[in-house]
């Protein structure tokens, strides 16, 4: 399945603004405010809809550089979504069909492990290019 590309911060903002307002959700995902590890067993695939990707198909190896202009960190719940930077540049965007929340998901690969990471896109979260 080929996902539509979300090329920049404005396109991501437009997607969020033109979607139904998210509702409180009690699914197995939880809050997912700061890149939570979420195994395949906990990912509620039956209620998740892939809506786009932040991955640039022209870039074979996206940067691992992070963007934290306000001194946040990778796991900070208030870290901005920096579309062109890690880990956002490796994400697909999903929508929960039960609560209309949007979530970003990427897979982190180590020498001997695979770690699926999920972060909700909060409506008040800054989105940067």
Under a CB-based contact definition with an 8 Å cutoff, are residues 85 and 66 in contact? yes
Structural tokens at position 55: 């991955």
The rounded percent of the chain whose pLDDT value lies above 70 is 99
Angle (CA) 77 82 87, round 5°:
75
Query: Taking the chain, what is the end-to-end CA distance rounded to the nearest angstrom?
Result: 26
Mean predicted lDDT score pLDDT of the chain? 90
The rounded percent of the chain whose pLDDT value lies above 90 is 62
What pLDDT shows up at residue 29? 83
Query: Is residue 1, in this structure, part of any structural domain at all?
Result: no
- Per-residue pLDDT for 1 more than 80? no
Query: What total of structural domains would you count in the chain?
Result: 1
- Per-residue pLDDT for 63 more than 90? yes
pTM for the whole structure: 0.92
Token pair 């960190």 in the structure block, residue: 73
Q: Give the whole-angstrom CA distance, residue 33 versus residue 77.
A: 5
CA 42 and chain centroid, separation: 16
Q: Give the whole-angstrom CA distance, residue 52 versus residue 63.
A: 20
Query: Is residue 4, in this structure, part of any structural domain at all?
Result: no
- Per-residue pLDDT for 111 more than 80? no
Enclosing domain of residue 59: 9-128
What pLDDT shows up at residue 7? 95
Under a CB-based contact definition with an 8 Å cutoff, are residues 54 and 104 in contact? yes
Query: Is residue 45, in this structure, part of any structural domain at all?
Result: yes
Closest CA relative to residue 28, chosen from 18, 41, 13, 19:
41
φ, ψ for residue 90 (rounded to 5)? -120, 15
Query: At 43, is the pLDDT very low, low, confident or very high (cuts 50, 70, 90)?
Result: very high
């Amino acid at each position: 399945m080929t996902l539509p590309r979300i090329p920049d911060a404005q396109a991501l903002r437009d997607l969020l603004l033109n979607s139904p307002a998210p509702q409180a959700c009690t699914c197995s995902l939880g809050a997912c405010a700061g890149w939570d590890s979420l195994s395949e067993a906990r990912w509620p695939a039956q209620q998740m809809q892939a809506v786009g990707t932040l991955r640039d198909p022209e870039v074979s190896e996206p940067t691992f550089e992070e963007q934290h202009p306000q001194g946040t960190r990778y796991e900070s719940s208030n870290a901005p979504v920096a579309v062109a930077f890690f880990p956002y540049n490796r994400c697909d965007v999903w929508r929960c069909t039960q609560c209309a929340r949007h979530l970003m998901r990427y897979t982190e690969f180590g020498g001997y492990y695979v770690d699926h990471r999920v972060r909700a896109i909060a409506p008040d979260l800054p989105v940067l290019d």
